[in-house]
């Protein structure tokens, strides 16, 4: 006997399962038929009309359904758009800088795979240097981009203790292996012949011709280093260096292991006061082209005589530097070249340095 038997009789019995629920409904219909002859349904209401007849409610029966939360339309998946569309992200990546491409590749595996696509790095490399694509490259474009824009320069590998400062000038292209090196930005009336000894032409005219430079894209930097005559860190003597190298130089094993060295081509001493320290590298094929004429128009870019800031001028096939000098007793100009260890002995790097006497 329960504590509240009358209350228990008023409460309906809750079926324990679906089958039991069906049996319970069947028994209720049987009881209704025995008592009043009408089928009773718990979900339908009955109303009495004026004639005493019982009518069913016009309200429709509600079906039990699961509750689902509404989703905003802007979060719904679009059937016509793919968030990971390779062509779209490839185009987006072409407008990113190298450091941003690295960050994008760290987002997830999909973006890492995307940024490993070499065409993206090729586009970024040519865009940042503003040069046309070469016919052939020996390394991937990602490697070339890293070697060009990771902040390293030639003095990072050797004579780092002598280095003071540097600035990137830019990139230029050698389509042919013949280049003119000069300490003046006024070309001589008669160019040195390729078969002439470079050391002799440097002494007489301050110019020389190299006929076996590696073709392709070159990078030009302006370096400021300590005077190489002494090893004293307190020495205030400085030397500026026009440093040009093939874009793949830092990736070459011969350069990295130190087997490729700079060799002196010739030295020219100017034993009188000099107003400027200049140097230039020109592809001989384009000496008379309009773009090269802009580099040779020195007055348009060297600045005022009282401007001591180094200046540089670059075009597609030439590069030049100029620094106005304070009163001095003269200059010593040194020409250097680095060759690979192959049978062809290609020139892969060039230096023109000016040192106060």
Q: What is the DSSP string of 127-148?
A: HHHT-PPPS--SS-HHHHHHHH
Domain shared by 342 and 275, yes or no: yes
At residue 255, the pLDDT reads 94
Q: Is the pLDDT of residue 37 over 80?
A: no
Q: Is the pLDDT of residue 61 over 80?
A: no
Q: 39: pLDDT confidence band, cut at 50, 70 and 90?
A: very low
Assigned domain for 272 exists: yes
Residue % of the chain over a pLDDT of 70: 74
Domain shared by 240 and 133, yes or no: no
Domain shared by 279 and 334, yes or no: yes
Domain shared by 98 and 180, yes or no: no
Q: 344: pLDDT confidence band, cut at 50, 70 and 90?
A: confident
Domain shared by 128 and 166, yes or no: no
Assigned domain for 246 exists: yes
Q: Is the pLDDT of residue 23 over 80?
A: no
The mean pLDDT value for 6-25 works out to 48
At residue 138, the pLDDT reads 92
Average pLDDT of the chain, as a whole number: 81
Which tops the pLDDT comparison, 114 or 24? 114
Assigned domain for 6 exists: no
Q: What's the maximum distance between 2 C-alpha atoms anywhere in the chain?
A: 134
Domain shared by 113 and 205, yes or no: no
Domain shared by 333 and 274, yes or no: yes
Q: Is the pLDDT of residue 64 over 60?
A: no
Domain shared by 171 and 135, yes or no: no
Assigned domain for 265 exists: yes
What are the b/e assignments for 247-282, b being 16+ CB within 10 Å?
A: bbbbbbebbeeeebeeeebbebebeeebebbbbbbb
The mean pLDDT value for 13-37 works out to 52
Provide CB contacts within 8 A for 182, sequence distance 6+.
Answer: 206, 207, 279, 280, 282
At residue 44, the pLDDT reads 47
Number of structural domains in the chain: 2
Q: Is the pLDDT of residue 324 over 90?
A: yes
Most confident of 77-86, 191-200, 283-292: 283-292
Q: Is the pLDDT of residue 265 over 50?
A: yes
Assigned domain for 71 exists: no
The mean pLDDT value for 159-165 works out to 87
At residue 67, the pLDDT reads 47
Task: Give all strands (DSSP E) within the chain, no chain letters.
Answer: 46-48, 54-56, 163-174, 179-182, 207-210, 216-226, 238-246, 262-270, 276-283, 311-315, 318-324, 331-339, 347-356
Q: 157: pLDDT confidence band, cut at 50, 70 and 90?
A: confident
Domain shared by 272 and 333, yes or no: yes
Query: Which of 8-22, 126-140, 239-253 has the weakest average pLDDT?
Result: 8-22
Assigned domain for 256 exists: yes
Q: Is the pLDDT of residue 71 over 60?
A: no
Domain shared by 170 and 139, yes or no: no
Assigned domain for 122 exists: yes
The mean pLDDT value for 309-319 works out to 95
Domain shared by 322 and 240, yes or no: yes
Which tops the pLDDT comparison, 31 or 260? 260
Range of the domain at 138: 88-146
Domain shared by 242 and 315, yes or no: yes
Assigned domain for 57 exists: no
């Amino acid at each position: 006997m329960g504590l509240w038997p009358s209350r228990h009789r008023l409460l309906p019995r809750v079926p324990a399962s679906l089958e039991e629920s069906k049996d319970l409904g069947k028994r209720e219909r049987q009881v209704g038929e025995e008592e009043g002859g009408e089928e009773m349904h718990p979900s339908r209401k009955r109303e009495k009309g004026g004639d005493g007849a019982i009518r069913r409610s016009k309200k429709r029966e509600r079906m039990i359904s699961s509750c689902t939360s509404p989703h905003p339309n802007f979060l719904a998946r679009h059937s016509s758009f793919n968030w990971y569309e390779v062509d779209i992200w490839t185009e987006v990546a072409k407008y990113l800088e190298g450091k941003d491409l690295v960050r994008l590749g760290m987002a997830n595996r999909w973006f890492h795979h995307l940024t490993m696509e070499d065409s993206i790095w090729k586009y970024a490399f040519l865009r940042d240097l503003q040069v046309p694509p070469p016919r052939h490259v020996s390394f991937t474009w990602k490697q070339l981009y890293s070697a060009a824009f990771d902040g390293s320069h030639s003095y990072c590998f050797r004579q780092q203790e002598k280095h003071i400062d540097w600035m990137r000038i830019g990139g230029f292209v050698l389509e042919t292996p013949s280049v003119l090196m000069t300490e003046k930005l006024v070309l001589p009336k008669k160019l040195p012949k390729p078969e002439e000894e470079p050391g002799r032409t440097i002494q007489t005219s301050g110019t020389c011709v190299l006929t076996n430079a590696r073709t392709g894209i070159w990078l030009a930097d302006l370096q400021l280093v300590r005077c190489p005559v002494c090893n004293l860190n307190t020495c205030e003597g400085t030397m500026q260096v026009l440093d040009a190298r093939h874009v793949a130089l830092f990736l070459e094993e011969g350069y990295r292991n130190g087997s490729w060295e700079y060799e002196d081509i010739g030295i020219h001493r100017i034993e009188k006061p000099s107003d400027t320290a200049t140097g230039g590298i020109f592809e001989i094929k384009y000496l008379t082209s309009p773009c090269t004429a802009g580099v040779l128009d020195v007055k348009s870019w060297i600045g005022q005589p009282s401007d001591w800031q180094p200046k540089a001028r670059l075009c597609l096939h030439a590069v030049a530097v100029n620094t106005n000098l304070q009163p001095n007793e003269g200059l010593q100009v040194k020409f250097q070249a680095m060759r690979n260890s192959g049978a062809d002995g290609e020139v892969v790097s060039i230096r023109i340095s000016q040192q106060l006497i």
